[in-house]
Chains A and B, each alone.
Chain A
């Protein structure tokens, strides 16, 4: 990953984390604010409901008081003091009174609690009232479980006593807490009331019975959603608030406040559940969330764009420095970095330019020194090479001079012998001169499409011919060629010369015989040619000086062979290396790039060398 990419990623990550953190914080704060507002709204709604509920209780009290104050009640109370209750006469009285006062429940009972007349269960005359009538009469309305022919029911009831004579008449009336009662409550918009009636016919400890969970429309749908809340209230006897999810749509959620409702004996008779729709809150939250997501998206996009611009601005001088360093590494020592700022990067660019300048200066000095040293080495070698033939020449000429003083026959004999020697030494001198000349006249490669395997195979044929002639020590020559090497652009003659040079060096390295392996391989960016022998190997010092011109480890070598090989490889843009240990053989590795861009613009990969060979 580039520096710019890392910088960009860093910027982007920072921006993302920042935006996410801000979003989370804003979201949390917003949610908390909404919850607080919702709680306050629920509290207000609950208070409003309780006010309505209490008002209904007051209405019940008023209606029961009206029944107690009626002439009928007074007459019944009077008759109770005179005679035993005449149930037949009062059978329908409670029903008539209840209808007149719009009460769902009304029972008239004597002091013993015996029911004189019942509106909700007329046939119950003569039975005792379940509710204890001893003690003071409750002033306010209260919850009470009513016994009906169809089963128990819950009512908001009130009791009043008619005191006429010694025996009192109790008037017990109320309204049933059913769906009609729930529907009659005036509730604010978005709020609804549900009621769970804890009736005595339920088994103790049993789960919530769905049929006793009602709302204004009747039996509540999906009662299981609020059942845990009811169970908790019944268990803890305390108000509880929760959010109920009625569907997968969050806007259907309700904030539910469950309130235990107790009777006169503090027994919980019902759980009032006030549901406040969260639709408006959820929709508002969704709007805010959408806006936040949009803002975050735009912010992140802008931040990325700004980061890219900033990263580009920051990394441009660094990239220029990197490019300059690459140029210098490629040998372009005159490369300069533009100084565009006065900050640290500007100082760095100035330092880089100063460094390259100093490096160039040192390099030129070094080149000069090397050139001088090369000339000295060349002179030394040339002198050395020329000195060896010169000494026999001098002796021969001196011998000829001395021979002129001898007899003509002796002179003739000496002359013949000296002439041969002179010609041989002159020939030797010519050879030396021609080698130097050849080295100095190394040609530039003429690139064409080449199959490296063909070159190596041709070298192998030459070796085979060489190995099979004369009394050569047996050397095994092996070929390990790549199956389908990619063609490369190269000068086939020069490559042939380099590979054959290395191959013959390998033969020379195996005076006791051995194995020579020629190997080709496809590399990542080109091809590799390996020439391995099992000869005497090279020491570390020899490996270090191996490619130095005029260095040779052979008695009759000029030290120019490997230099020529290196020059050829270098002219092809390749690289040559050596792996060797003394006594374990040597392997030369030539790495050649494909160089396809150096082919003539013919559009075709030619194989002229192949045709020529």
Chain B
């Protein structure tokens, strides 16, 4: 549990501490050394040119606070906004700002700064300051607006030209875009000072290099490929995995042209042995995905079951012949993606379809990995649709059935074929204490403290 301040901790330690329990008590100080494979060149949470990634979300959360945060159940909790309310119809919302919050440069958080930051993140909203808070007017009912505001891209940043300043638990001490980021803990953070003094983050480091550095004791926290987590665990490393929070799917470059094309896409969807993908290729680091959203999030994903059905996918059962081979592009830097693409090509061949994996950008299909943007299913689905260039889902109500209908509509377009939901995995050095993550795998580094020896 974090303390609210360093002096209190020191006094408490002097008065009541004993030697035997010192290793389990939180300890301030130290530098947490982290590595990431992603190499973002911008820390701006509203920069839409940067791909949405797990790493970027983790970095942004350390520097930039959001008005709202979500708890493990996906419910909005106050952050920079101490409270909020909406007018009937949920199109107009008013958020009241937490008093006493300052940016890293010492300037106080103001409604004008917050409104300007949110306008940069979403130009469709009408945002204006109103006393101690801000008012957001949407062009359509937005009952989940507080949840949406918990997304990393709505982090509040004060923009002074190219300089960005946040109000998060850590301030930027050094920033070498795409290579290295050094963060320093703020003593005056409104949520309490982080335990570690600083965090050094190496960017663009391959997973293999990260693992070596971890083994050599040069890093405290690294990313681990989903398919390597199990092996790393059996090898004695300290591994933490998230719930399945990243969608791996096939996306067609074009809309279906004919009924024959639709049948071939259905055949492809049926031909894929997702169990082999998850169990063998991902080594248990992923779950077979029948829907776009994971079952833990919706509870109905099993309804989209697409167990491999050989009898339905044989060409002699009336499926039209493929006019020309399909090409399937994948991220050449991702070894798992290559394996998955090649396995899908094999499965497709069994169904009479020819699928040629390729590194070329211009392909008939793309194998993509998209992290879930939010714990809220609707927001996550909407963001997935946006990332996959699908039509925006339409929700007729707030019920689970409405969500199901919206997702089913997306799947029936056959623009996308879900494959797997992958888990984020991290490897930790033994000195990292109080390790905690969001349900979708987001790091909570402000809670971490560094101990000595194994936990």
Contacts and interface: CB of A to CB of B under 8 A. Distances in A.
Interface of A: 87-88, 91, 121-127, 149-150
Interface string B266-303: 00000000001001110110000000000000000000
Interface in B24-81: none
B345 interface: yes
Interface residues of B, number: 15
Contacts of B343: 123-124
6 contacts: A121-B342, A121-B346, A123-B339, A123-B342, A123-B343, A149-B342
A91 B281 contact: yes
Given A88-B283, A88-B284, A91-B281, A127 B346 contact: yes
Nearest to B278: A88
B283 A91 contact: yes
B357 A125 contact: no
B340 interface: yes
Contacts of A121: 342, 346
Most buried by B among A125, A149, A150: A149
B347 to A, nearest CB: 9
Contacts of A88: 279-280, 283-284
A569 B356 CA distance: 113
A125 B283 CA distance: 13
B342 A125 contact: no
A552 to B, nearest CB: 121
Closest 9 CB pairs of A and B: A123-B343, A123-B342, A149-B342, A88-B280, A87-B280, A123-B339, A88-B279, A88-B283, A149-B357
Dominant secondary structure at the A interface: loop
Contacts of A127: 346
A150 to B, nearest CB: 8
Contacts of A150: 356-357
Most buried by A among B280, B284, B345: B280
A123 B283 contact: no
Contact of B345 (A91, A122, A149): A149
Interface of B: 276, 279-281, 283-284, 339-343, 345-346, 356-357
Contacts of A149: 341-342, 345, 357
A237 B195 CA distance: 78
A121 to B, nearest CB: 6
A123 B419 CA distance: 15
Contacts of B276: 87, 125-126
Nearest to A123: B343
A125 B280 contact: yes
A122 B346 CA distance: 11
A123 B336 CA distance: 10
A470 to B, nearest CB: 124
A123 B273 CA distance: 11
A149 B358 CA distance: 10
A126 B356 CA distance: 20
A122 B279 contact: no
A121 B283 CA distance: 17
B337 to A, nearest CB: 11
A125 B277 CA distance: 11
A440 to B, nearest CB: 125
Contact of B342 (A87, A91, A122): A122
B215 to A, nearest CB: 19
Contacts of A123: 281, 339-340, 342-343, 345-346
A463 B283 CA distance: 143
Contacts of B342: 121-124, 149
B438 to A, nearest CB: 28
A122 B340 CA distance: 10
B192 to A, nearest CB: 44
A87 B280 CA distance: 6
B328 to A, nearest CB: 10
A125 B342 CA distance: 11
A289 B102 CA distance: 97
B89 to A, nearest CB: 52
B280 A91 contact: yes
A107 to B, nearest CB: 14
A149 B276 CA distance: 17
A122 B339 contact: yes
A123 B284 CA distance: 15
A149 B281 CA distance: 16
A121 B339 CA distance: 8
B134 to A, nearest CB: 51
Nearest to A91: B280
Most buried by B among A122, A123, A126, A150: A123
A90 to B, nearest CB: 9
A94 to B, nearest CB: 13
A122 B283 CA distance: 13
A124 B346 contact: yes
A121 B347 CA distance: 13
Nearest to B283: A88
Most buried by A among B279, B342, B356, B357: B342
A88 B340 CA distance: 13
B20 to A, nearest CB: 42
Contacts of B341: 149
Contacts of A122: 281, 339, 342
B14 to A, nearest CB: 53
A87 B282 CA distance: 11
A39 B356 CA distance: 45
B319 to A, nearest CB: 21
Most buried by B among A88, A122, A124, A127: A88
B208 to A, nearest CB: 13
Contacts of B357: 149-150
A273 B357 CA distance: 32
B429 to A, nearest CB: 26
A126 B281 CA distance: 12
Given A123-B342, A127-B346, 11 more contacts: A88-B280, A91-B281, A122-B339, A122-B342, A123-B339, A123-B343, A123-B345, A124-B342, A125-B280, A149-B341, A150-B356
Contacts of A91: 280-281, 283
Contacts of B356: 150
Contacts of B340: 123
A150 B276 CA distance: 21
Nearest to A148: B342
B207 to A, nearest CB: 15
A124 to B, nearest CB: 6
Nearest to A122: B339
Contacts of B339: 122-123
Most buried by A among B279, B341, B343: B343
A88 to B, nearest CB: 4
Contacts of B283: 88, 91
